[in-house]
C-alpha cells in the first residue's frame, strides 16, 4: 500500500505528524512519501499543487492531508493561493464524494455549545459532492463592465450524472446505517437544485428500503442545531455541504473532532480533517490532532478495507477521551489538558 502524506500549512504538519505516529504504531505494510501542498507547495515550487505532488498523489492508493492556507498568501493571484491546490487535487483525482461524519463522543457532551440532551448520541453522516457546483462552474471571474463597474461571477451547475453518482454514495451508505437520506437543496429558488431534487427522487426508486426526504438548506441549517438527531445521512452539493459540515462539527464539541474522506469511484481516497490550517495557533503544539487521527481510521476503512484497524484507532481515540485527555478546544472542568503531540501519544498508548 502506498500513502502520500501532504502536511500543508499552519497546524497541518503537527496534526499530520500525530496521525502518522498512530499509523506507524499499527505496524502495517504501508509505504509513506511526503510532499508539499498549499502555501508549502508555493514556497517549494511556486505552485500550490506542484507537479511532483500531484504525481505522487496519483501514484498512491491514498492521500493523507493536513490543511492548507495562511493569511500571508491572501495577496497572491488567485491561482497561486493555497486553497487552489486543494481544489485542484480534489478535481484531478476525481474525489467527488466527501464523507464528513459528525459523531458525538459521550465524553464530549459538555464540550458542545448545545445542551447535552440535544447532542448526546448524535451520529450523523454528511455527504458532500466535492468536484462540481459553484466551486468549479464556468463562467467565473471578476471583470469590469462597460460602465467601469466591476462584477463578480460564479456559476452553480450540476448535470444529472454528477447528481446521480453522489446520490448513489449516499443511498449505499444509508443502507449500512439507519436507512434514512435527507437531501438538502434550495429547490424553491435555484434550478440547479430543482434538478438535484428530481434526480434524487428518481434514484430513490432503486432503494425502496431507504426513506428519502428533502429539505431546504436554510431549514436544514436551523434543524441541525434544533434537533440534529433527526438526521442519519444528509446528502448535498459542494457549497451547501461546505457550510453545513462546519455547522455540524460544532455539535460534536469542536471542529477539531471532525474527520473526512474524499473518495473517487474506486474508493481511492484523500483523508483530511474537516477543519482548516488555523495559522493563529500553528507551531504552538496546542492543536487538536484527533480529526486527523480519525481520518486515518476512515482511510483504513474505506481505502484499505481494514475495518478491524479502523475500529482499533477509533476505540483508542475514545479511550484517550475517557482517560480525560483533552486539547484546549475541548477541555472542560476536571480534564487533563494536553498539547497536540501528547494527545497523539495518548492515542498510541491506548492502541497497545
Ligand atoms: C473544506 C474547506 C475548503 C473548501 C477550503 C479550504 C477551500 O473549507 O474542506 O471544507 O471550501 O472546500
Ligand atoms: Mg469548509
DSSP string, 75-122: TS-GGGSHHHHHHHHHHHTT--EEEEEEE--GGGTTTSSS-HHHHTT-
Nearest CA owner, ligand 1 atom 6: 83
Q: pLDDT digits over 223-266, tens only?
A: 999 999 999 999 999 999 999 999 998 898 888 999 999 999 99
Are 326 and 336 in contact, with CB atoms under 8 Å apart? Answer: yes
Q: pLDDT digits over 133-150, tens only?
A: 999 999 999 999 999 999
Contacts of 313 (CB under 8 A, 6+ apart): 22, 26, 293, 294, 296, 297, 300, 347, 351
For residue 147, report the distance from its CA to the centre of ligand 1, in Å.
Answer: 34
Torsion 222-106-340-50 (CA) sign: negative
Same fold, 1-99+268-352 and 112-252: yes
> So what CATH class is 1-99+268-352?
alpha beta
φ, ψ of residue 23 to 5 degrees: the values are -60, -45
Catalytic residue list contains 207 = no
**Given the residues 73, 105, 135, 158, the one annotated as active site:** 135
Domain assignments of the chain as residue spans, ordered by start: 1-99+268-352, 112-252
Whether 130 lines ligand 1, by a CB cut-off of 6 Å, is: no
For residue 242, report the distance from its CA to the centre of ligand 2, in Å.
Answer: 4
- Compute, in degrees rounded to 10, the torsion defined by CA atoms 311, 313, 315, 318: -140
Q: What angle do CA 43, 49, 55 make, to 5 degrees?
A: 120
Determine the Cα–Cα distance for residues 11 and 278; give it in Å rounded to an integer.
Answer: 6
Q: What is the pLDDT of residue 6?
A: 98
Question: What residues are paired with 159 via a beta bridge?
Answer: none
Are 24 and 345 in contact, with CB atoms under 8 Å apart? Answer: no
Q: What is the pLDDT of residue 250?
A: 87
Residue 180: Cβ-neighbour burial (10 angstroms; 0-12, 13-18, 19+): middle
Q: What is the pLDDT of residue 109?
A: 85
Owner of C-alpha cell 481510521: 297
Q: Which atom of ligand 1 is nearest to the CA of 67?
A: 6
Q: What is the pLDDT of residue 136?
A: 96
Q: At what angle do helices 307-322 and 340-351 cross, to 10 degrees?
A: 120
Q: What is the pLDDT of residue 254?
A: 85
Are 107 and 74 in contact, with CB atoms under 8 Å apart? Answer: no
DSSP secondary structure code for residue 67 in this structure: E
Are 142 and 152 in contact, with CB atoms under 8 Å apart? Answer: yes
Q: At what angle do helices 290-302 and 307-322 cross, to 10 degrees?
A: 160
- 136 alpha carbon, closest ligand: 1
pLDDT lower than 70: segments of the chain: none
Q: What is the pLDDT of residue 346?
A: 98
Determine the Cα–Cα distance for residues 62 and 171; give it in Å rounded to an integer.
Answer: 24
- Residue 136's Cβ-side half-sphere holds a number of Cα atoms within 13 Å equal to 19
For residue 243, report the distance from its CA to the centre of ligand 2, in Å.
Answer: 6
Determine the Cα–Cα distance for residues 30 and 210; give it in Å rounded to an integer.
Answer: 37
Q: What is the pLDDT of residue 108?
A: 87
Determine the Cα–Cα distance for residues 231 and 247; give it in Å rounded to an integer.
Answer: 14
Q: What is the pLDDT of residue 46?
A: 97
Nearest CA owner, ligand 1 atom 5: 83
Catalytic residue list contains 135 = yes
Q: What is the pLDDT of residue 111?
A: 83
Residue 79: Cβ-neighbour burial (10 angstroms; 0-12, 13-18, 19+): exposed
- The CATH code that applies to domain 112-252 is 3.40.718.10
Amino acid at each position: 500500500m502506498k500513502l502520500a502524506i501532504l502536511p500543508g500549512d499552519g497546524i497541518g504538519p503537527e496534526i499530520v505528524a500525530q496521525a502518522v505516529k498512530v499509523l506507524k504504531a499499527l505496524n502495517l505494510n504501508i509505504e509513506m512519501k511526503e510532499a508539499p501542498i498549499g502555501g508549502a507547495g508555493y514556497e517549494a515550487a511556486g505552485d500550490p499543487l506542484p507537479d511532483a505532488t500531484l504525481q505522487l498523489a496519483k501514484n498512491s492508493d491514498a492521500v493523507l492531508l493536513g490543511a492548507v492556507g495562511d493569511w500571508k498568501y491572501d495577496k497572491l493571484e488567485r491561482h497561486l493561493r493555497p486553497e487552489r491546490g486543494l481544489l485542484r487535487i480534489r478535481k484531478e483525482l476525481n474525489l467527488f464524494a466527501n464523507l464528513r461524519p459528525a459523531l458525538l463522543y459521550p465524553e464530549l457532551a459538555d464540550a458542545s455549545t448545545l445542551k447535552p440532551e440535544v447532542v448526546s448520541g448524535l451520529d450523523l453522516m454528511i455527504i458532500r459532492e466535492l468536484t462540481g457546483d459553484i466551486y468549479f462552474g464556468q463562467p467565473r471571474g471578476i471583470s469590469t463592465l462597460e460602465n467601469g463597474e466591476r462584477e463578480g461571477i460564479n456559476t452553480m451547475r450540476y448535470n444529472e450524472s454528477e447528481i446521480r453518482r453522489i446520490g448513489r454514495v449516499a443511498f449505499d451508505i444509508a443502507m449500512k446505517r439507519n436507512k434514512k437520506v435527507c437531501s438538502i437543496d434550495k429547490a424553491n429558488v435555484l434550478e440547479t437544485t430543482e434538478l438535484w431534487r428530481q434526480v434524487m427522487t428518481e434514484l430513490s426508486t432503486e432503494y425502496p428500503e431507504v426513506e428519502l426526504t428533502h429539505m431546504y438548506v436554510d431549514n436544514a441549517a436551523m434543524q441541525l442545531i434544533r434537533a440534529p438527531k433527526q438526521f442519519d445521512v444528509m446528502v448535498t452539493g459542494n457549497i451547501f455541504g461546505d457550510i453545513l459540515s462546519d455547522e455540524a462539527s460544532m455539535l460534536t464539541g469542536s471542529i477539531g473532532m471532525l474527520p473526512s474522506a474524499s473518495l473517487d469511484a474506486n474508493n481511492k481516497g484523500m483523508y483530511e480533517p474537516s477543519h482548516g490550517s488555523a495559522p493563529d495557533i500553528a507551531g504552538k503544539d496546542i492543536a487538536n490532532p484527533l480529526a486527523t487521527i480519525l481520518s486515518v481510521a476512515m482511510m483504513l476503512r474505506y481505502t484499505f478495507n481494514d475495518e478491524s484497524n479502523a475500529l482499533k484507532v477509533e476505540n483508542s481515540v475514545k479511550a484517550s477521551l475517557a482517560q480525560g485527555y483533552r486539547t484546549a478546544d475541548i477541555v472542560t472542568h476536571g480534564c487533563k489538558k494536553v498539547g497536540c503531540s501528547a494527545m497523539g501519544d495518548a492515542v498510541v498508548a491506548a492502541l497497545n
